[in-house]
Chain A
Amino acid sequence: MTTREAMPGAVTDVVIVGGGLAGLPLALALAKGGLEVTVIDAIAPATSADPGFDGRTSAIAFSSCRMLDELGVMTRLKGQTQPINDILVSDGRVRGGASPLFLHFDHREIGDEPLGQMIENRFLRIALQKSVDAEPAITQIAPATVRKAEFSSAAGTVTLSDGRRLSARLIIAADGRGSPMRKQMGIRTIGWDYGQSGIVTTVEHELPHEGVAQEYFLPGGPFAMLPMTGNRCSLVWTEKTAAAKAMVALPDADFANEMRARFGTHLGACRPVGPRWSYPLSMHLARGYVKPRFALLGDAAHGIHPIAGQGLNLGWRDVAAMAEVIVDAARLGLDIGALDILERYERWRRFDNTVLAMTMDGLNRLFSNDIAPVRLARDLGLGIVNRIGPARRLFMRHAGGSIGDLPRLLRGEAL
Chain B
Amino acid sequence: MNTKTPAARINTVDPAEIARFSAMAAEWWDPAGKFRPLHKFNPTRLAYIRERVVRHFALDPAVRRPFEGLRILDIGCGGGLLCEPMARMGAHVVGADAGDLNIATAQVHAGEQGLAIDYRCTTAEALAEAGEQFDIILNMEVIEHVADRAGFINACAGMVKPGGLMFVATLNRTLKAYSLAIVGAEYLLRWLPAGTHEWSKFVTPAELAADIAAAGLDIAEQTGVGYNPILDRWSLTPDMAVNYMVLCERPR
Residues of A within 8 A of B (CB): 1-3, 5-8, 11, 34-35, 152-154, 329-335, 338-340
B163 on interface, CB distance cutoff 8 Å:
no
What is the predominant secondary structure among interface residues of chain A facing chain B? loop
Closest A-chain residue to B85, C-beta based? Answer: A333
| Known contacts A34-B63, A332-B47; A339/B31 CB under 8 A | yes
Closest A-chain residue to B61, C-beta based? Answer: A331
Q: Are A332 and B114 in contact (CB under 8 A)?
A: no
B87 on interface, CB distance cutoff 8 Å:
yes
Contact of A335 among B50, B68, B84, B89 (CB under 8 A): B84
B188 on interface, CB distance cutoff 8 Å:
no
For A6, list chain B residues within 8 Å (CB): 114, 116
| Known contacts A2-B65, A153-B112; A334/B85 CB under 8 A | yes
| Distance, CA A35 to CA B25, complexed state (A) | 26
Instruction: Select the stretch in B38-46, B94-102, B124-132, B146-154 that faces chain A.
Output: B38-46
For A8, list chain B residues within 8 Å (CB): 114
Q: Which of B104-125 contact A (CB under 8 A)?
A: 109, 112-116
| Distance, CA A154 to CA B111, complexed state (A) | 9
For B68, list chain A residues within 8 Å (CB): 2
Q: Are A333 and B84 in contact (CB under 8 A)?
A: yes
Q: Which of B39-94 contact A (CB under 8 A)?
A: 39-40, 42-43, 46-47, 50, 62-65, 68, 84-90
Q: Are A338 and B31 in contact (CB under 8 A)?
A: yes
Contact of B50 among A35, A154, A332 (CB under 8 A): A332
| Distance, CA A125 to CA B114, complexed state (A) | 36
Q: Are B42 and A153 in contact (CB under 8 A)?
A: no
For B85, list chain A residues within 8 Å (CB): 332-334
16 contacts between A and B (CB under 8 A): A1-B64, A1-B65, A2-B65, A6-B116, A11-B114, A34-B64, A153-B26, A153-B112, A331-B50, A332-B89, A333-B46, A334-B42, A334-B46, A335-B84, A340-B32, A340-B39
Centre residue among B64, B84, B88 by max chain A CB count within 10 A: B64
| Distance, CA A216 to CA B115, complexed state (A) | 60
4 pairs of A and B residues whose beta carbons are closest in the complex: A333-B85, A340-B31, A7-B114, A333-B88
| Known contacts A3-B65, A338-B31, A340-B31; A332/B112 CB under 8 A | no
For B32, list chain A residues within 8 Å (CB): 339-340
Closest A-chain residue to B116, C-beta based? Answer: A5
Q: Which of B234-249 contact A (CB under 8 A)?
A: none
For B89, list chain A residues within 8 Å (CB): 332-333
Number of interface residues of B (CB under 8 A): 31
Contact of B87 among A154, A333, A339 (CB under 8 A): A333
Q: Are B46 and A332 in contact (CB under 8 A)?
A: yes
Distance in Å: Cβ of B29 to nearest Cβ of chain A: 7
Distance in Å: Cβ of A153 to nearest Cβ of chain B: 5
| Distance, CA A152 to CA B25, complexed state (A) | 13
Q: Are B42 and A335 in contact (CB under 8 A)?
A: no
For A5, list chain B residues within 8 Å (CB): 87, 113-116
| Distance, CA A37 to CA B163, complexed state (A) | 38
| Distance, CA A7 to CA B114, complexed state (A) | 5
Closest B-chain residue to A332, C-beta based? Answer: B46
| Distance, CA A144 to CA B63, complexed state (A) | 32
5 new A-B contacts, CB < 8 A, other than A153-B26, A335-B84, are: A1-B64, A2-B64, A154-B112, A332-B46, A340-B32
For B40, list chain A residues within 8 Å (CB): 340
Q: Digitize B22-39: 1 where CB-to-A-CB distance is under 8 Å, 0 elsewhere.
A: 100110010110000001
| Distance, CA A334 to CA B85, complexed state (A) | 5
Distance in Å: Cβ of B90 to nearest Cβ of chain A: 8
Closest B-chain residue to A7, C-beta based? Answer: B114
Distance in Å: Cβ of A184 to nearest Cβ of chain B: 23
For B42, list chain A residues within 8 Å (CB): 334
For B47, list chain A residues within 8 Å (CB): 332
Q: Are A154 and B113 in contact (CB under 8 A)?
A: yes
Distance in Å: Cβ of B133 to nearest Cβ of chain A: 23
Distance in Å: Cβ of B106 to nearest Cβ of chain A: 14
Closest A-chain residue to B87, C-beta based? Answer: A333
Q: Are B64 and A330 in contact (CB under 8 A)?
A: yes
| Distance, CA A334 to CA B84, complexed state (A) | 8
Closest A-chain residue to B39, C-beta based? Answer: A340
| Distance, CA A32 to CA B113, complexed state (A) | 24
For B88, list chain A residues within 8 Å (CB): 330, 333-334
For A335, list chain B residues within 8 Å (CB): 84, 113
Distance in Å: Cβ of A12 to nearest Cβ of chain B: 12
Contact of A332 among B26, B43, B116 (CB under 8 A): B43
Centre residue among A329, A332, A338 by max chain B CB count within 10 A: A332
For A339, list chain B residues within 8 Å (CB): 31-32
| Known contacts A330-B64, A338-B31; A154/B84 CB under 8 A | no
Closest B-chain residue to A35, C-beta based? Answer: B64
For B63, list chain A residues within 8 Å (CB): 2, 34
Closest B-chain residue to A340, C-beta based? Answer: B31
Distance in Å: Cβ of A13 to nearest Cβ of chain B: 9
Closest A-chain residue to B110, C-beta based? Answer: A5
Closest A-chain residue to B66, C-beta based? Answer: A331
Closest A-chain residue to B88, C-beta based? Answer: A333
Q: Digitize B197-239: 1 where CB-to-A-CB distance is under 8 Å, 0 elsewhere.
A: 0000000000000000000000000000000000000000000
| Distance, CA A5 to CA B113, complexed state (A) | 9
| Known contacts A5-B116, A332-B43; A153/B50 CB under 8 A | no
Closest A-chain residue to B25, C-beta based? Answer: A153
| Distance, CA A339 to CA B85, complexed state (A) | 16
| Distance, CA A307 to CA B113, complexed state (A) | 46
